[in-house]
Every structure is written in C-alpha cells, then in structure tokens.
Chain A
C-alpha cells in the first residue's frame, strides 16, 4: 500500500529496531499502519518521528500507544511535540480504565440481592399506597385529583376498548373453533358454550384484560413518571411538599381499579359473542345457546372475575407507577423502567391469579 510505505517503515540494524514515521499522521493514514506499528513496538524501539509533517488526535493516539509499549519517540517537530504533550501530560501514557464486569457468581448474587430489594420496594410501595388511600377517605376524598383520574380512566379504558374487544372476541371464537369438533364426536358440542363462558368469565377475560392494560397503560405510566423523574419533576413535587404517591400514583391506581372490572365485563361479553358466532355457524339456535350459558355461568362466576379485576387494576397501575418512580438517570433508564413495568406486571398477574384459583377452590367460590 503506497500510502502505508510513505508514512511508516521498520528499519532493523542488528538487534536495534527503528520505526520510521513520516508525512501526515491522521485518522486517514493511521488506521492502515496501526496494527503493524504497534506490533513492531512491542520491544524497546526507537520511533523516529522527525519526518512527521502533521499529527492530529489519531496520530497522537498512535504515538501514545507506541510510547506506552516502550517505544522512545524521537525527533518530533516542536509544534507537533506541543500537541503530543497535550495527550500525554502528567501521569504519562496509560490506558483508559474499563468498567469492571462481575464474575458469574457475583452476577447471580447481585441479581438475587436486587430481586430481594425489589420485593422489599414493592411491599414498601404497597404500604405507602395504603397509607395514602386511608388518608384520602371520607371528607378528604376531594384531595384526590379527580380530573386526572377521569383523564387516565378515559385513556386506559375507553381508548382500550377496540384492542380488548378484538382480542376477547377472537379468543372466544378460537376456543369454540378448537373445542367444537372433538366434543361433537361425543355429541356434546353444546358444552362448548359452558367452556367458553366459564373460561372467559373466570379466567381469560380478567387475565387478558390485565395483560393488555399492562402493555398499554402500565408501560405508559412507567414512561411518563420515569421521564418526570429524569427531568427532576418528581424532585420538584417533593420539594414543593407534594407527595408524589398522592399526586401521581393515587389517581392512576384509582383509575386502574375503576376501569379494569368494566373492561373485564366488556371482554367477557365479546369473548362469549365470539363463541356464539362459531356455534351459530354450526347450526345452533341463539335461544339454546343462551339457555346453556345461563345454566352454566352463574353470578358467582362473574363476581369471581370482577374481584380479580379490582386487584389486577391496582396491580398493573401500581407496578407501572413504581417502576416509573424507580427510574434512574438517562433516557435509557426510562426504557428499562417501561420494559420492567410490563414484565413485572404480567408476572405478578399470573402469580396473583394462581393465588385466586387456590383461594376460590378452598372457599368453594
């Protein structure tokens, strides 16, 4: 490579190695000679830089690296030496320190410790929310920012109708499609209605609604509050004497508690409608389907799903807000909080649903 030969040459005289640098040492030329020059400078060598005409930051970095490896820089022109000194200065040449990375054992320990801390934070946050809600009961209820509650209610509820409706309708439809043929073999395909009705009302309606809410609204809460944290707006609230939990979390959790059961009822209806569509297509009259449904699904079943809705609503909104408040500095931290809010909420929804299943079984609900 002609340019390389022009700016770099290795001269060997007996055991002495001399690196000859010449011409322009800049980001355009340094890349081509870097590896060769650095390898040649592994031993104590003389670096003759008397022919160097120009040296920018990249050239200085090469000279620094050669010096760090034991090379002795000689013959630098005064104006170039002045630039070179800027980069070496006191303390000589050294490498930038890298972030130390954990060993696998340390990483496991750190993850375990962070998990325990997170559990502690969630319990503390639950306690904080309880205290705030208790302080807002009765005549102090007007301290809740009801305008915010209705706004969030609309965003989390009304604007979620389409997606919740579509998912529920299709779920009911798919369930009926899958269940009808095998049940027909035994002549009991009318029981598809029982399956779809009970599954939607007791389990799938609440869980699917909560998961959609976690993806739409919980993540939005985390991003919104996280951005406020990064912009020091949370600090401003605190120093103004406004409790961020009362000011930001309470309206969101309240809206979540109010809107989730309503969305669940809506999801149940659409899911059952999806199942009905399949059954009607298979030749069943609507009256027969309705009678089968009312016989299979009782008020208790609907209530069982709605009770979950109140808890899931509080959980999704609460986790979203908590992750927002836990946001660290920087734009990437908001992304981390948002992701974490969705993952944590879905995980907790499943755990809490399992607890509900056991409790309902034990009390015969």
Chain B
C-alpha cells in the first residue's frame, strides 16, 4: 500500500446472496482526496459503499482502510477502524428521538471518556462547523432535508474521522442547498484534511468537488472509467461514460 493511500480496494467482489453485482473492482483513494463513485441506477454504487464501510460481507477481495482490513477485524480492532471513518447516509439516518446535539454526543459518550460539558461543547463546535449552531436542541423532524444532511455530516464528524463516506449527499436537495453542501465538503477537506468518498449521480456536485471518480457499469459489473470528472467528460470514448456525462438518452 502506498504511503499516500488511505483506502485500497483489491479485487473486490460484491453482491447479495447468489447475485453478483460487482467483480474484480480495484481502486485506491489518496489521503485528502475527494473521491466520487458514479454510475447509473442499479449499478452497485451503494452496494460498493456498504462493502467499503463493512455493512456487507465481501464475496471476495480486500478493502484496506489505512492499511487495516475492516472485514476481518473484530472487537477492539474493528472499533478502532470504525472510529477512523464516518458515514453520512442518503436518508441522513439521524436518530429521530434525539436532538441534533444528542445525535452528535452519542458517539462521544460511547467511545470517549470526555466529561458531559466537553461532549456538549464538541457537539456545539460540530454544529457550528455545518452552520447549525442554533439548532442543537431541535429534533431531526423539525428541520429541513438540507439541514438534516448537514447535521448528519456533523454527526459523522463527531469523532474526527480521517475518512467520510457520503451516500448521495445531494439527493433531493435544491441547487442552492446542494451547492452549500458542496462548499461544506470542500471546507472540511481543505481545513481538516478529511478524505471523502462520495457516492452520487449529481453531475454538478461531481464537477464542484470531486478530484477523481470511478464509474461503475451494471452490465460489466465493475469499473468502466477512472479519472478526473472533467477528463472523463471531455475525453472518454466509452459510450456509456459519454452518455452519462453529456446527459444523453
């Protein structure tokens, strides 16, 4: 594993039950990079993400996060790796019965020895980071979808992870809110050095934030293109890649 890689995927094979969705997937993500996973509906983007974060068992291959394999780690070792990553889900997945501040303090309560005052202060700083400092006492149902997405990022940042995985962060957001979210992602990367792996099919967001992307294909069950999004748009000869980036039917 090269020094600057934070995630290394080797010959990953993924799927549900008997169904194989992805085969022989290989890529690396560099530290501090914003890495996009693209593809049409049903190509396995979210499935790949679930394998990367250890929610689904691998059919084959390896996923190394900072050189450690999540799939085979257990107990304390697994907790260490999980503390190293944060995940923002498509539906935000904030705990509906807890306020935003409580959502953020929950992992701090579980994984640190910080006193209550410190946890509260950290929750506030995370909310400040995503411009929700005045909403700490609100329940998720009391704020908008865009605010929920930002709150989910704040929760994912609670333990200062090195890598943030985001599943469709811009889905269902208006262009302005989506652009604000893109700006937040860039701010977190530039200031805190966080590495992002983003699953999306929002082209505007891809161009705005992604340093490098891979494109998955349902038929080929794997990666059909890899590179800078602008390069893929302008130079790729693959018909599907061209259609995707040029929004052709």
Contacts and interface: CB of A to CB of B under 8 A. Distances in A.
Does A pair with B? yes
Interface of A: 26-28, 30-32, 34-35, 38, 56-58, 60-62, 64-65, 82-83, 86-89, 91, 94-100, 328-333
A56 B160 contact: yes
Contacts of B133: 91, 94, 96
12 contacts: A26-B160, A27-B122, A57-B125, A58-B122, A86-B128, A86-B187, A96-B120, A96-B137, A97-B134, A97-B137, A98-B136, A332-B96
Chain B contact residues: over half helix, strand or loop, or mixed?
A: helix
B114 A27 contact: yes
Given A83-B192, A328-B141, A34 B115 contact: yes
Contacts of A64: 121, 124-125
A100 B99 CA distance: 12
Given A27-B112, A30-B114, A57-B125, A86 B159 contact: no
A88 B127 CA distance: 11
B108 interface: yes
A58 B120 contact: no
A98 B121 contact: no
Nearest to A87: B125
Interface string B99-135: 1010000001000111101101111111111000110
Q: Which 8 A-B pairs have the closest CB atoms?
A: A330-B96, A96-B136, A329-B141, A332-B97, A99-B137, A96-B124, A61-B122, A87-B125
A96 B101 CA distance: 8
A62 B118 contact: yes
Q: Sort chain B's interface into a size bin.
A: 35 or more
Given A86-B191, A96-B136, A330-B139, A31 B112 contact: yes
B157 interface: yes
Given A31-B113, A82-B191, A99-B99, A61 B159 contact: no
Interface string B49-74: 00000000000000000000000000
Interface string B191-228: 11000000000000000000000000000000000000
Nearest to B141: A329
B115 A35 contact: yes
A28 B108 CA distance: 11
B88 interface: no
Nearest to B100: A96
Contact of B114 (A31, A97, A98): A31
A38 B117 contact: yes
B140 interface: yes
Nearest to B133: A96
A96 B136 CA distance: 6
Given A61-B125, A96-B127, A329-B96, A30 B160 contact: no
